[in-house]
Amino acid sequence: MESWTTTPFEPLAGLVGGLLIGSSVVLLLYTLGRIAGISGIAAGAMTQRGIERYWRLAFLLGFVLAAVLYMVFVGNLQVQTQMSSAWLVVAGLLVGFGTRLGSGCTSGHGVAGLSRLSPRSIVATLTFMSAAVLTTTIIRHL
């Protein structure tokens, strides 16, 4: 069994990150009337045309630029994984399947959907959070 480490408790970073995510959700909803769900934005960036495609590409480019700016101003962007590459591929495929099956991803349902009190998003969020707890319990303890 692999050894597990804990993530340091950093409340200020969590607060700032949450404020930035929430602000982006509100800004996108009020300016373009769109939901900030990454799976939908990424899919639309590949299938839409014109302005619909451009704002989606700009949104996704923001993720890349945020990482670059972090490295420029803060330092090395350290990423740690505790699972093998094969597990990460399987997990990525399952997440992709789940986003199609659930008509959205954690950011779309869990942030934008819950804040709008969407019944579909409440059910979806309860479902993927339950699956995450179950999966973590199985992997760590069985």
In contact, 104 and 40? CB cutoff 8 Å: yes
For residues 123-140, average pLDDT:
89
What percentage of the chain exceeds 90 in pLDDT? 37
What's residue 141's pLDDT? 84
pLDDT tens for 30-88 read: 999 998 888 889 989 999 999 999 999 999 999 899 889 989 998 887 777 878 889 89
What's residue 116's pLDDT? 87
User: What is d(CA 2, CA 82) in angstroms, rounded to the nearest whole number?
Assistant: 7
111 secondary structure, DSSP code: I
For residues 112-131, average pLDDT:
90
In contact, 25 and 36? CB cutoff 8 Å: yes
What percentage of the chain exceeds 70 in pLDDT? 96
Whether the pLDDT of residue 1 is over 60: the answer is: no
pTM: 0.75
